[in-house]
Structures are given as structure tokens and as C-alpha cells.
Amino acid sequence: MTRYLLKRLGGAVLVLLVLSVVIYGLFYLAPGDPARLACGERCSTQQVAQVREQLGLGDPVYTQYAHFLRGIVAGRDYSTGTALLHCDAPCLGFSYQTDQQVTSLILDRLPATLSLALGAMVIWLVIGVGTGLLSALRRGGITERALTVLTLAGTGTPVFILGLLLLMLVCAYLQWLPFPTYVPFTDDPEQWAWNMLLPWLTLGLFESAKYARLTRSSTLETLAEDHIRTFRAYGVGERAVVGRHALRGAVPPVIALSALDFGSVMGGAVLTESLFNIPGIGKSLIDGVREIDLPVVVGVVLVTGTAVVVANVVADLLYAAADRRVALL
Amino acid sequence: MTTLPDLPASGAKAGAAVAVPAASDARQAWRRLRGRRSAVVAAGVLGLLVVLALAAPLLAAVEGQDANTYHDALVDSARGGVPIGSFGGVSGDHWLGVEPGTGRDLFVRLLYGARVSLLVAAGATVVQVLIGVAVGLASGLGNRLLDAVLSRFTDVMIALPMLVLAIALTAVVPNDFPRPLLLILVIGLLDWGGTSRIVRAQTLTLKQLDFVAAARLAGSGRWRVARRELLPSLAAPVITYAAILLPMNMVLEASLSFLGVGVKPPTPSWGQMLSSAQTWFRADPMYVLLPAGLLFVTVLAFTVLGDAVRAALDPREAGRLRVGRRRTSRTPAAADPSKDISS
């Protein structure tokens, strides 16, 4: 178990290192002078030179990368000529646009993304798993056919189309809700929930199609197993067979996939956040790209990568915990 | 959301089970595909779309419009630029109405958008398949070290957050680089891991088989074996997987354009139209519904067709049609290498 965990974590670190090299290399190769970008439009040549000195942009690329990595692990000091500017341990540099530390910028965006991810997960678990179970248990009926068509259509629909249609229906046509604007939970929990309702539905329903398919197939697979036949032969009621035994087989994959999806949503549900103007991590990536704020882009990509990679490990662990037939090697 | 369905795994499963199709198998698969009504309908829809996209300049000439001319007289500037007339300004001159704000002809813009969508989706799939097959074959045929290195690399590529990395990549490429080509390269170069995994697994299985051994004994070199013996047998799983990749790539292109980092204006693209439709969904619903409907139908048709292709190439489906024959020929698998390699 410990060995397995160490091996997986080693793999995770490798993925992140490759990601950091790729993204840092691109950042270095990007057109435009980073020093000028960092300094702003109105800087004199002299000021630009000073910024280049401060950020160490004159050093060879591998030295810069080494400093960047050391900044993440141990923090980093920038000299501004007169004073030292300290950047704490997971240091991802400073935003060119706002001069804010990228780490704190991402942390500021975290609550919005977390709000979105949690609510959406509740919806995909309830609706997705519910639909999948229903369609597995009503095999051959009209319900199953309808649900199959729905999930097939849902799998291919891009999330922003679903979101736009929901916006049109709920905000423009029925006028049940105003266009959502993000309100932090700590400011007003009730407003927070009302404004998050559409983003939750959009992301949750989008993911539901996948969960419906997964639940359906794993339930059917379990129902076809020998031990279920034995239970039935012994006269165990259908309700107990499904509720107590079939579900046990259907749950582990759902849990594992949820962990994966939660991770990637935490890394930035770029499309949903961008459509509903939610100031989350994914939105900061798009803003960073538009403003050519390279440290923010690099930082968000690394954070996203970390979320996805950690989610992978967690998903495997949860799977093994939920299904005792799986042994981690 | 950002992740696309977890297809590599399911694709891998489907791929691993696909047997070596001999010529007659291919014909049978074709017959099975034609026998599915949903597949025929989906193929018809896609065929029509391809024809429309190819004929875009012609159809634009028939309508008498082009993609980029502004028609200020057709939008109501007092109401912020909403098209004048019902259904987004549908008229004899503008068959599907005009774009709000600018008055550009929607019919022509949608047609040209289809070109971008199809071109990027197909181009990216080709790049993915080329890289995936090359890496997978090298991994499956190479020595242990090469295999380990390439497999590890593939794992890393699969673990990378696709959409986020694609967005970041578009940020650092100069603006004058042709965007459709950029999108093809970004998607193709980032997302070939699934194909490579399937090809590697399939190659490992195939190279154990007698017909490959026979070719080696007959003196064929490694390269010749790969080209003449393995590649034809890899066609079925690769086609199956490519059919899954196509709609995913199309959605990815639309997503990137929706986010404003894909195809740049004035080149029309469905994703980009949907992005500008965000501010118009109250005043001009048609402007949302047209590109959204087209994208939805196209992706759905690709998905349905992909599903049918998978089923048609699946040897288990083939077995269902040939149950009688298979029962009589319960000889060792070695006697007939074209079947049942998974056993």
C-alpha cells in the first residue's frame, strides 16, 4: 500500500515536472519582451532594463527555470533595487498586470471555483446516477429508450451550449431568475445559492450524461454476476438485491470518476466560469491569456495540473476503498 | 465542463477486443454498418454538411451575399443593433437572417463556420492518428527501454489537462500564425495518447501471432512486418478510435473559439458565434439557436456514427452472426489467426 502510494506520487511529480518544463519553455519562447510586459506600456527603456534585472530575465533559461522551481519549493526574493520583495513558499511569481502574487491571486479565486464544483457534483451524483440506475432497472421499456437517447444527446453537447440554452429558457423566456452574478458565500449565502443555481445546473447536467452511462453499465454488469443470481435463487427480494447488492458494484466507479471530475473542475471549469462570469480559477486563466499575463497563465496551468494529478491518485485510492476486491499493488 | 468523456478507457477496451479483419470481415463490417438505420441517417446528415461546407462559396453566390459585408440598414440601431424583422431578420436576401450588431449574413457565416469546424476536427484527428500510430507501433515493436520511455511519455501526455494547456498554448503563439492550423496542431500534438495506447496494446498482441511470425521467418524485416502485416490489422481499432476522436475535436475547437482563443474574427466559426451570442440571447434568440443547433446536430451525428462504426467492427458482433460456423470450427486459434485473438 505504502509502496503503491509512493510509486503513484512519484509518477504524479514526474507529470508535474514535465508540465512545468513545457509550460515554462513556452513562456520563455513566447513572442514579446517579458520585461516590457511586466513593466507596462509607459516604461522607459531604462525602467525596462531595471525590471529585466529584477526578474532575472537576463539569465539563461535553465537558471530562470531553476529559480522558478526553487520559488515553488522554498519561496523567493526579488530585489527592487532599494528593498527586497519576498514571495512566500509556493511562489509562482507576480502578475504582470496587478503586481499581485500569483499564488494569492489563485487562492482568491478558489472559493468561487469550489462553490461551482461542489454544487455541480451534487447534481451529477443525484441526476446522473439516478438516471443511470433507472435506465438499468427498467430495461427494455420506453423509459430506457428515452433515457438512452437523452444521455447520448447529452454526451456530445458542449457545456456552453447547454448553459446558453438554460440562460435563454430561465432568464430570458420564463424570466424566473435574473442573469446570474457571482455573490461570495460569505457575503450572502442565500444570494450565493440563487446565483450559482444556473451554473450548477449547467455543469451538473453536462456531467450527468457520463455518470448515467457509467452507472447503467456497471449496474447491469453487477446484476449479471453469479452472486446476484444466487441471491435471487435464495429468494432475496428484488429491492434488497438491487439496493444492497447491485449498488455495491455500481458505486465504486462512480466515486472514482467523481474524484477525477472534481479535480478537473477545481483546476478550472474554464467554459462554465467564462459563460457565467464566475471569478474562478478557470476565468483567471482566460483573463491571463487575454492580457498576456504570462506568470498567471503558467501558475494556473501548474495548479490545474496538480489538481488533476492529485485527483487521479485519490480516485484510485477511493476505488480500492470502495471495492474491496481491488488490491493495490 | 473542461473534461471530455473518459473515452480512452472505453476505447481501449473496444480496441483491445477488435480482431484482425480479413477482407471478408471488412465487407461484413460494412454490411453491418449499412444495416443500422441510425448510422445511415447520421452519415447522411454529415454528408450533407460536408457538401454544404464545400459548396459554401457557391451557395453564397446563389444567395448573393458574402461573409463579411456589414448591413447597417438591417439592424435596429435604436435597439442596440437587433436585426429588423422576425426570426433574426430572415428575408429573401438573407435566408437565415443577419448577425445582430453588424448585419452580416448568417447563412454564409454559418456555412463558412462549418468549414472551419470540419477542417479542424478532421485535421486534428489525422495528426492524432499519425502520431498515435507511430508512437504506439514503435513502443510495441521496439526494445524494452524504448517501450518504457514511450509508454511513460504517453502516460504523461494523457495526464495533462488538455483544454487548459491548449488555451495556454494559444497565448504564446504569434497572432499572424494561421489559427485553424494552430488549432489542428495544438489538439493533434497534445491529445494522441489514447491512440498510441491502443496501437501499442494491439501491436503487442498481434506480434505474438503466427502470421506475423511467418512473415518474420520468411525474411521480412521489422519495418516491412510493421507496414505489411501489422498496419492493416490495426486499421479496425484505429478507425474505431478516430471516430470517437472526431466529435471530441470538434467540440474542442468550438470551445476554444468560444473562449476567444480559437479562430480569430473575421473568420467565422460556430464557437465564436456562440461566444458573441452571449450578449444577444435575450434580444435575438435565433443567433444562439442556429450555431448551437448546427454544432449539436453535427456532434451528435458524429457520435452516433462513431458508435455504429465501433459496433460494426466489433468481432463480438461478428460472432453473433456466425455462431453456427464458429461452433463447428473449435480448432485451436492458431489454425485461423484472423479470428479471436483475445483468447
Task: Read off the pTM.
Answer: 0.83
Whether A11 and chain B come into contact, CB under 8 Å, resolves to: yes
**Could you say which of B174, B261, B281 has the minimum Cβ distance to residue A164?**
B281
Q: Is the pLDDT of residue A31 over 70?
A: no
In our burial notation (b when 16+ CB lie closer than 10 A, e otherwise), range A283-305 reads: bbbbbbbebbbbbbbbbbbbbbb
Contact A30 B171 (CB under 8 A): yes
Q: Is A59 helix (H, G, I), strand (E, B) or coil?
A: coil
Considering only the beta carbons, identify the residue of A274, A297, A305 that sits closest to B160: A305
Closest by Cα among A279, A275, A264, A270 to A312: A264
Report the C-alpha gap between A213 and A133 in whole angstroms. 9
User: Which regions in chain B score pLDDT beneath 70?
Assistant: 1-24, 89, 92, 315-343
A207/B304 Cβ within 8 A: no
Beta bridge partners of B302: none
pLDDT tens digit string along A312-328? 888 888 888 887 776 66
At B136 the pLDDT is 93
- Give residue B64's pLDDT: 73
Give the Cα separation of B258 and B211 in Å (integer): 50
Provide the grid cell at A305. Answer: 495540473
Q: At a CB cut-off of 8 Å and minimum separation 6, what does A139 contact?
A: A220
- What was the pLDDT predicted at A75? 79
Contact (Cβ atoms closer than 8 angstroms) between residue B287 and residue B275: no
Q: Is the CB of residue A30 less than 8 Å away from at least one CB of chain B?
A: yes
Looking at per-residue pLDDT, the higher value among B82 and A175 belongs to A175
User: How many beta-carbon pairs below 8 A join chains A and B?
Assistant: 150
Of B161, B251, B281, the CB nearest to A172: B281
Pure H helices in B160-284: 162-172, 179-190, 193-206, 210-217, 222-224, 231-258, 270-277
Omega within 30 of 0 (cis) for the link into B266: yes
Burial class of residue B324, CB neighbours in 10 A (0-12, 13-18, 19+): exposed
Closest by alpha carbon to B262, among B169, B188, B193?
B169
Tell me phi and psi for residue A76, to 5 degrees.
-155, 150
- The per-residue pLDDT for range A76-89, each reduced to its tens digit, is 777 666 666 777 77
Specify the higher pLDDT residue, B11 or A291: A291
Q: Chain B residue closest to A201 (CA)?
A: B1
Contact yes or no for B258 and A158 at CB 8 A: yes
Q: Evaluate whether A224 touches A249 at the Cβ level (below 8 Å).
A: no
Residues 6+ apart with CB under 8 A from B26: none
CA distance B96 to B294: 13
Name the closest residue on chain A to residue B273, using Cα atoms: A161
Cell reading at B57: 462559396
Q: Please classify residue A219 by burial: count the beta carbons closer than 10 Å to its beta carbon, then call 0-12 exposed, 13-18 middle and 19+ buried.
A: buried
pLDDT at B131: 96
Vertex A210, ends A205 and A212: CA angle to 5°? 85
Nearest to B164 among A158, A207, A268 (CB): A268
User: Which chain A residue lies closest to B296 (C-alpha atoms)?
Assistant: A157
Name the grid cell of A246: 447491485
